[in-house]
Structure 1
């Protein structure tokens, strides 16, 4: 099965976005995943990893829940 990690910057206040990503991923793929973990970070990070591979990073990509879900789907 698959593990998803959402690393988010605590000082930046990205918890709400990280939770929204987590919620969407769990709704779409919940029964097919081992876990969807929130990982605290800093320095402006907001990143989604599937089995250790970065599939979405806010420094490179626009925040779009549907796009993030599509990228995760490729690995599930």
Structure 2
């Protein structure tokens, strides 16, 4: 099964953003995922990885929860 990891910057106050992404992913794919993990970080990080592959980085992509969910979809089994 698929695992999703959301690494977010604690000092920057990105917990709420990470929780929103986590909730959206779980609503869409919850029964098809092994795990969704929140990983604490610093230095402004906000990245999403699926099975170890980075699919989103706030430094490269505009933050859009729906877009992140769309990027997770191809990695999730039917």
What corresponds to 1:16 in structure 2? 16
C-alpha displacement of 1:74: 1.2
Task: Give the CA RMSD over aligned residues.
Answer: 0.4
Partner of 1:37: 37
Runs of 4+ in 1 over 6 A off after TM superposition: none
Alignment gaps of 5+ in structure 1: none
Instruction: Give distance in 2, aligned partners of 1:13 and 1:73.
Output: 27
SS at match of 1:74: helix
Q: TM-score, normalised by structure 1?
A: 0.99
Distance 2:56 2:33 in 1: 18
Q: How many matched pairs? A: 76
- Pairwise CA distance, 1:14: 0.3
> Which digits, 9 at most, give the CA deviation of each residue in 1:8-65, with x for residues without a partner?
0000000000000000000000000000000000000000000000000100000101
TM-score, L = length of structure 2: 0.96
Which residues in structure 2 correspond to 1:1-76 (within 5 Å)? 1-76=1-76
